[in-house]
């Protein structure tokens, strides 16, 4: 299996622009997670989906952030408009709920908002 695939690997944008991060989970997994990693706050869960349905979005920082999972093999995290404080590494992870509950992570997207 190819593992969790995230794109792009790096993203540099200017303040005010829309940013879309993409994730393809491992085939057969039914849960998907978006995390943000910063030096100040460490690893934070933003949102998680189960069977394509958002279950907990309490970690989404504000309305500028939105996430969708239109099908079992694709999810997006969108920031509109972006701000410099959104600069971070964003990880996507997937797992099979009911199994060992092990979350497998993608390689992350490093976002820089100038």
Partner 1 sequence: AQTVTQSQPEMSVQEAETVTLSCTYDTSESNYYLFWYKQPPSRQMILVIRQEAYKQQNATENRFSVNFQKAAKSFSLKISDSQLGDTAMYFCAFMTHAGNMLTFGGGTRLMVKP
Nearer to partner 1, 31 or 75 (CB): 31
What's the CA gap between 96 and 34, in Å, rounded? 15
34 binds partner 1 (CB under 8 A): no
Q: How far is the CB of 16 from partner 1 (least distance, A)?
A: 27
Nearer to partner 1, 3 or 84 (CB): 3
Of 13-21, 44-52, 65-73, 80-88, the segment contacting partner 1 by CB under 8 A is 44-52
Judged by CB under 8 A, which of 75, 82, 94, 95 binds partner 1? 95
DSSP 39-87: TTTEEEEEEEEETTEEEE-TT--STTEEEEEEETTEEEEEESS--GGG-
74 binds partner 1 (CB under 8 A): no
* Residue in the block written with tokens 């309490």: 58
Query: Checking DSSP bridges between strand 31-38 and strand 5-7, what pairing results, if any?
Result: unpaired
23 binds partner 1 (CB under 8 A): no
Report the candidate in 81, 83, 80, 90 with the shortest Cα–Cα distance to residue 111.
90
- Residue numbers of the site for partner 1 (CB under 8 A)? 31, 33, 42-43, 45, 48, 50, 55-56, 89, 91, 93, 95, 97, 100-105, 107-108, 110
């Amino acid at each position: 299996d190819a593992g969790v695939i995230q794109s792009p690997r790096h993203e540099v944008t200017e303040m005010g622009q829309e940013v879309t991060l993409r994730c393809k989970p491992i085939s057969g997994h039914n849960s998907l997670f978006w995390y943000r990693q910063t030096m100040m706050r460490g690893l934070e869960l933003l949102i998680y989906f189960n069977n394509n349905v958002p279950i907990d979005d309490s970690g989404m920082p504000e309305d500028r952030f939105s996430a969708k999972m239109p099908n079992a093999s694709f999810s997006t995290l969108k920031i509109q408009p972006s701000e410099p404080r959104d600069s971070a590494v964003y990880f996507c992870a997937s797992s099979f709920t009911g199994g060992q509950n092990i979350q497998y992570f993608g390689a992350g997207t490093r976002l820089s908002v100038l």
